[in-house]
Amino acid sequence: MTSKTDRKKAVQLFKALSHSTRLLIVQKLLEGEKCVNDIRDLFDVSQPNISQHLNILKFSGIVDFLQEGNLRCYFLKNPERIKKIIQAIK
């Protein structure tokens, strides 16, 4: 991480993972792609709240999604990288 841009990206990634809900979402996505309703069912929060967390993860470059009609399913963009980061912080 030599450039300022690389450092900013790293900070953004760690900020996104620093919230317990987002960290659990990422851990569940390590198991495979999940749709918004599947993710919402893991928590006792509203669907808009889960969507906010997913948007932060997407903006941080951690997740992306596929959409078919009204169904939006999320997946990790680089699961091996995320596994290494989670293992490093355990």
Domain hosting 46: range is 4-89
Q: What is the CATH number of the domain that holds 12?
A: 1.10.10.10
**CA within 13 Å, CB half, 37:** 3
90 contact partners, CB below 8 Å, separation of at least 6: none
Both tokens of 69, joined, read 């009609």
Alpha-carbon span 33 to 56, nearest angstrom: 17
Strands (E), the chain: 34-35, 63-68, 71-76
The total number of structural domains in the chain stands at: 1
- The pLDDT profile of the chain, 90 residues, written as one tens digit per residue, is 578 888 998 899 999 999 999 999 999 999 999 999 999 999 888 989 999 999 999 999 999 999 989 999 999 999 999 999 989 987
pTM: 0.89
